[in-house]
A and B are shown apart, each in its own frame.
Chain A
Amino acid sequence: MERLTWMLAGLLCTAARLLPPGSREWTEAVRAEAGQVPAGWPRLGWLAGGLWLAVREAKMMRMVVYWLGVGMVAATAAWAVRLSWHASPHAHPLVVTDRVRVLVGVAALAGLPWAGRRRGWFGPVGTSITARLVRVGGCAALCGLGMAVVRMDRDIGGGPHGAAPFSLPREIAAGVVLGAALAALAVIRAIRPQTEASALWVLTGMAGVVAFALVPLQALVIVYVAGILAATSRRSPVANASLAAGAMTGLAAGLAAALAVYELNTPDDRYVDLILLAILAITFLLATLAGAAASWLRSGSGDPTDLREARLRQGLLAGSVAGAVCGLVITNFVAVAVFMMIIGPLLGAAGGALGGTVAADHPRSPRAARSWAAGLFVRS
């Protein structure tokens, strides 16, 4: 017992050093008083409470999760580069292009933590545990997808071929056009800040179309990363309940759809139509459920028309989230279902709108009270 107490006191001393000066004195206060507490379990409990205080004040859990995320992204990037450099054919333009794409992808991944922490559309992450889980889980799923694609490319001995047969001049031309569009955006914003937002959006859209034609999968991943960061940021229009409903039903839909594919798949592709129908039906039904749940959970007072609109909007958003999550999950299991990353959110939005409309007139009654701020206050 004494040894354990001594160890905990040492741990508390180390934890105190990690805290900013304003918070450090509080853990030092706990440590200073530990000698007054009777030895044995009471003292151990006192020191454990101090350690809990240090964890809370330093927001250590958040730091641990953040650095785990950064480590995961770095490991994925390193693995992708390694696989790409060990591809079998050498000195072939296709392989060289593939490597360049991998490097560009790795650079984009390196920018992820930066974009996620910057104040704006994509960050910082929302305060709820749901937002954090969805952000971490979504980025992990995208990393998994990237690794699966690189592995697949290596096995077939080539790079991602894009929408058309490989052509080096086309690749170079598209790259130049994309780079020029992005540079033009930056230049216009720097020289003429008063330029209308719609003009910039048109230019961004054109760059997006070029990117999608050149590297469809990478462009899709970028859109997903942007979507995940935007949906889980503090400025997100997606309510916490809608995010949770969409993510959970989307996960269930993705797993159910993947199971359907594994169960119905045959070497002669006899049930391919049935598989497709099952995937689409599962996605639509569960997105409808997510939309209904999000709409039902959106409680509040004020103008009934505004409230109804808000419920419909949350239903639509929850359905889109469910469809996107379903598309991402099933693509991780069955790479050929990548089309679901595009169709999923659209189908989910339709289902969510339907569910939201059905549930909009039957909202949940507001909760009576909630506790917050470390048990310091209660709010009703």
Chain B
Amino acid sequence: MSRRTAFSAQTLAVLAALTARPSDWRHGYDLARETGLKSGTLYPILVRLADREIVQACWEEGEPAGRPRRHLYRLTTDGLAAAAAALAVAPAPAARAARSGRVARPGRAAAPRRLAREGS
């Protein structure tokens, strides 16, 4: 049985948000607002993407006034290519949802399973 690996709908939403402005450094709350994901879903995805060197992360430089330094994220060069490829092959409804930041019931397994069925 051949096996296929693809990104989940939630990951696609994060990738779509990062791809929209690839040169900009984005912070977690910004991504959470754009994708509609909760921190408990968003950050594990960012951790795994950073582990796979799709996303690079760094701390904000300097000491901003009135708030702590932020952790910032953007796609690596390889990550940008991988994200573009993933979004191109993603099934249309999932890709549309990812690009518009509307991920149905984030954190549930239903969305990835539905995506897999549509893709197979």
Chain B residue with the shortest CB-CB distance to A53: B43
Within 8 A of B (CB), among A263-283: none
B62: interface (CB < 8 Å) = no
- Distance (Å) between the CB of A28 and the closest chain B CB? 7
Contact B116 A369 (CB under 8 A): yes
Given A53-B43, A375-B109, A301-B1 contact (CB < 8 Å): yes
Q: List 18 A-B contacts (CB under 8 A).
A: A29-B43, A29-B71, A30-B43, A31-B68, A32-B67, A33-B71, A53-B44, A368-B116, A369-B112, A369-B113, A370-B116, A374-B48, A375-B44, A378-B6, A378-B113, A380-B6, A380-B117, A380-B119
Annotate B42-77 by CB proximity to A: 1 below 8 A, 0 otherwise: 111111110000000101000000011111000000
B95: interface (CB < 8 Å) = no
Within 8 A of A (CB), among B1-59: 1, 3-8, 10-11, 27-29, 32, 38-49, 57, 59
Contact A366 B1 (CB under 8 A): yes
State in angstroms the CA–CA spacing of A224 and B102 once bound together.
52
Taking A32-B69, A373-B48 as known contacts, 14 extra A-B pairs with beta carbons closer than 8 A to each other, sorted by chain A number, are A25-B57, A26-B43, A29-B70, A31-B68, A368-B116, A369-B120, A371-B109, A371-B113, A375-B8, A376-B11, A376-B45, A378-B8, A380-B3, A380-B4
Annotate B102-120 by CB proximity to A: 1 below 8 A, 0 otherwise: 0000010100110111011
Q: Give the interface residue-count category, chain B.
A: 35 or more
- Distance (Å) between the CB of A338 and the closest chain B CB? 44
A21: interface (CB < 8 Å) = no
Contact B28 A368 (CB under 8 A): no
- Distance (Å) between the CB of A13 and the closest chain B CB? 12
Contact A35 B113 (CB under 8 A): no
Q: Kindly list chain A residues whose C-beta atoms are within 8 Å of the C-beta of B113.
A: 369, 371, 378
Annotate A294-333 by CB proximity to B: 1 below 8 A, 0 otherwise: 0000001100000000000000000000000000000000
Q: Kindly list chain A residues whose C-beta atoms are within 8 Å of the C-beta of B29.
A: 33, 36-37, 46
Chain A residue with the shortest CB-CB distance to B40: A49
- Distance (Å) between the CB of A376 and the closest chain B CB? 5
Q: Kindly list chain A residues whose C-beta atoms are within 8 Å of the C-beta of B112.
A: 369, 371, 375, 377-378
Contact B7 A45 (CB under 8 A): no
A344: interface (CB < 8 Å) = no
Contact B1 A52 (CB under 8 A): no
Given A30-B28, A368-B120, A380-B4, A375-B45 contact (CB < 8 Å): yes
- Distance (Å) between the CB of B118 and the closest chain A CB? 10
Q: Kindly list chain B residues whose C-beta atoms are within 8 Å of the C-beta of A374.
A: 44-45, 48
Contact A35 B40 (CB under 8 A): no
Q: Kindly list chain A residues whose C-beta atoms are within 8 Å of the C-beta of B45.
A: 374-376
Within 8 A of B (CB), among A176-225: none
State in angstroms the CA–CA spacing of A349 and B71 once bound together.
56
State in angstroms the CA–CA spacing of A46 and B10 once bound together.
17
State in angstroms the CA–CA spacing of A368 and B28 once bound together.
33
State in angstroms the CA–CA spacing of A377 and B4 once bound together.
10
Contact A49 B41 (CB under 8 A): yes
State in angstroms the CA–CA spacing of A30 and B42 once bound together.
10
Annotate B83-97 by CB proximity to A: 1 below 8 A, 0 otherwise: 000000000000000
Sort A-B residue pairs by CB-CB distance and give the 4 closest, nearest first: A49-B39, A49-B40, A29-B71, A369-B116
State in angstroms the CA–CA spacing of A29 and B70 once bound together.
6
Contact A379 B39 (CB under 8 A): no
Q: Kindly list chain B residues whose C-beta atoms are within 8 Å of the C-beta of A31.
A: 68
A116: interface (CB < 8 Å) = no
Contact B67 A57 (CB under 8 A): no
Of B47, B109, B117, B119, the residue contacting A26 (CB under 8 A) is: B47
A48: interface (CB < 8 Å) = yes
- Distance (Å) between the CB of B44 and the closest chain A CB? 4
Contact A25 B38 (CB under 8 A): no
Given A375-B109, A376-B45, A25-B39 contact (CB < 8 Å): no
Annotate A343-380 by CB proximity to B: 1 below 8 A, 0 otherwise: 00000000000000000000000101111011111111
Q: Kindly list chain A residues whose C-beta atoms are within 8 Å of the C-beta of B47.
A: 23, 26, 53, 57
State in angstroms the CA–CA spacing of A301 and B5 once bound together.
19
State in angstroms the CA–CA spacing of A23 and B71 once bound together.
13
